[in-house]
Amino acid sequence: MVLYQDTQNFTFAEKTPFTLESGATLSPVTLAYETYGTLNAERSNAILVCHALSGSAHAGGPGGWWSDCIGPGKAFDTDRFFVICSNVLGSCYGSSGPASPDPATHEPYGLHFPVVTIGDMVRAQRALIDHLAIDRLLSVAGGSMGGMQVLEWASHHPERVRSAIPLATTARSSPMLIAFSEVGRQAIYADPNWQDGNYYANGHRPDAGLAIARMVGHITYLSDQSMHAKFGRRLQNREKFGYEFSTEFEVESYLKYKGLSFTQRFDANSYLYVTKALDYFDLSTPAGLAAAFAHSQHIKFLVVSFTSDWLYPSYHSKELVTALTAAGADVTYLDIESSWGHDAFLLEVDTMTRLLGSFVNRVAREAGL
Amino acid sequence: MSQALRPDLRIIADFISTGARVLDLGCGDGALLAHLVQAKRVTARGIELSEAGVLACVRHGLSVRQGDLEAGLGDYPAGSFDYVVLSQTLPFLDDPAMILKEMLRVGRAAVVSFPNWGYWRCRLELLLTGRIPSAPDLPQAWHEKPRWQALTITDFAIFCRKNGIAITRQAYLANGRRVNILKVTNLMSTTGVFLLEHT
């Protein structure tokens, strides 16, 4: 039985503002979240799943972004575990972000919304976990930017975490990652409809800019091999070249569709904020990356990378595993053979189900569940 | 699973004390570690190259890292384990001296098992047929992957003596059975199991 609930809201920092890493403050803060399954009497069976760049709190249930892994009998078995997912700070699916009303003006914040970091997103999640009266999460899991949140939890709030599952991620954003983020942001800035972020009132949204940002993003989630398999050089609805600048190849058509559909579900300013948070992420310290996990020895880690992921290449995960091992943590690591590129963490369902399911079983057993 | 434990792994398990910290290099499907966790409550860690092996280990509830031994054990601080195990893998390594040195840096002791080409049948086979004998406990021929480098118990003993490694315990198998022999071990056994420490 999945006790599936609609998205709920948790609002905090109404009296005392929430101070961000930048020093700026935010008040109030709202997080949209969903839960699946039932919290046990000891409140010890909670698993927090963290979404990636464009995700939402709707992780499980019909249409959920990770419904392959969340549900009765699945890796995160909702018959046994209480699964929580919240929309990140700065996003546009119900949590506070640039499209939320600024209490000072009652207009959307736009660029007056303070810049947030992965650390801020996680501290906001921690406020939600406090609100749910959960002392210790059985596990925190997520891929890509979700994986960064997992590592942030393990590094900065280790006492709240029993196990951590960072997938296809990094402890330190690479220059290449920042470069792709910036191309996406520049596409939005260059759209005259962006209007320095004040587009909410007149309804002319920077859809063209956001669509290009998404197209670039999508390329980085695929791989050379998966693009060959998925599109090849096939033409879309035509037999031969038209010698004109229309959409001719299947791959063009696919990206155009992905870009367009993204504008119908995501806010351009949120894209700026969330990518900025991605770029800032760096857990390494002057004493090295291992020092970031000096208090994480009790945490059991499952680190997974994918051989064809060139956005978060396997060496990032290997460096993380080296640091965690040096820090004395219990690490399981696998570099899964896959041709799906960065998207593999959501697509390699069979392997991921077996891996996550076995790992969570073990963690639950060792926690006495 | 423990009933089906490979004979050399049964001996290795005997060598390991209760509650120890154990690192198994090339741990395969985790049979030894799973047995040790159950029978001796050890803290178990493994390194395994194959995806199938890592998945099997995780299914057994073990903590295993995918990795290549040839890259060394640089991630592990000195003395972080009581025992580092290398079972039936020595002849396949490109740099066995480096691995053995690393095992004794990371572990207080090392446990090694390997097939013995000094066994009388191997010697006879070379003498009578003029062909390189495959080790009694290995299925593949010299040209099949993974390639091996033949060694004998005598070779290993000389190596240890020259490199300041003390053999503090040993046991011998002949065709899967433990044999209690003190002399001519090189001639009479198909696999040797050794507990090693720094002299």
Domains, chain A: 8-172+281-366 (3.40.50.1820), 177-278 (1.10.1740.110)
Domain that holds residue B21: 2-198
Does residue A20 contact residue A120 with C-beta atoms inside 8 Å? yes
Q: What is the ipTM of this complex?
A: 0.92
This prediction has a pTM of 0.95
CB contact under 8 A, B58 and A362: yes
Q: Which residues of A, range 142-181, sit inside 8 Å of B by Cβ?
A: none
Out of A300, A333, A354, the one facing B65 most closely (by C-beta) is A333
Q: Is the per-residue pLDDT at B2 higher than 50?
A: no
CB contact under 8 A, B64 and A358: no
CB-CB neighbors (< 8 A) of B54 in chain A: 332-334
- Number of other residues whose CB lies within 10 A of the CB of residue A282: 15
pLDDT band at A1 (very low <50, low <70, confident <90, very high): very low
pLDDT of A321-332, one tens digit each?
999 999 999 999
Q: Does A333 touch chain B (CB under 8 A)?
A: yes
SS3 B23: strand
- Using CA atoms, how far apart are residues B53 and B72, in angstroms rounded to an integer? 19
For the segment B132-154, the average pLDDT, to the nearest whole number, is 86
DSSP structural state of residue B176? T
DSSP structural state of residue A108? B
Q: Chain B closest CA to A37's CA: distance in Å?
A: 24
Out of B55, B61, B65, the one facing A331 most closely (by C-beta) is B65
pLDDT band at B16 (very low <50, low <70, confident <90, very high): very high
Helix (H) or strand (E) holding B114: strand B107-115
The number of C-beta contacts closer than 8 angstroms across A and B is 54
Nearest chain A Cα to B64, which residue? Answer: A332
Nearest chain B Cα to A351, which residue? Answer: B55
- Where in the sequence numbering do the catalytic residues of A fall? 144, 309, 342
Distance (Å) of CA A258 to CA A211, A344, B98: 8, 18, 52
Number of domains in chain B: 1
pLDDT band at A5 (very low <50, low <70, confident <90, very high): low
CATH number at residue B108: 3.40.50.150
* Interior angle at CA A220, CA A215 and CA A223, nearest 5: 115
Q: Is the per-residue pLDDT at B1 higher than 50?
A: no
Out of B58, B75, B80, the one facing A358 most closely (by C-beta) is B58
The amino acid present at B66, given as its one-letter code, is Q
- Using CA atoms, how far apart are residues A237 and A214, in angstroms rounded to an integer? 23
Per DSSP, what are the bridge partners of residue A141? A49, A165
Question: Among residues of chain A, what percentage have pLDDT more than 70?
Answer: 99
Interface test with B, best of A332, A335, A362, A363 (most B CBs within 10 A): A332
Q: Chain A closest CA to B33's CA: distance in Å?
A: 14
CB-CB neighbors (< 8 A) of B55 in chain A: 334, 351, 354-355, 358
CB-CB neighbors (< 8 A) of B61 in chain A: 358, 361-362, 365
pLDDT of A287-319, one tens digit each?
999 999 999 999 999 999 999 999 999 999 999
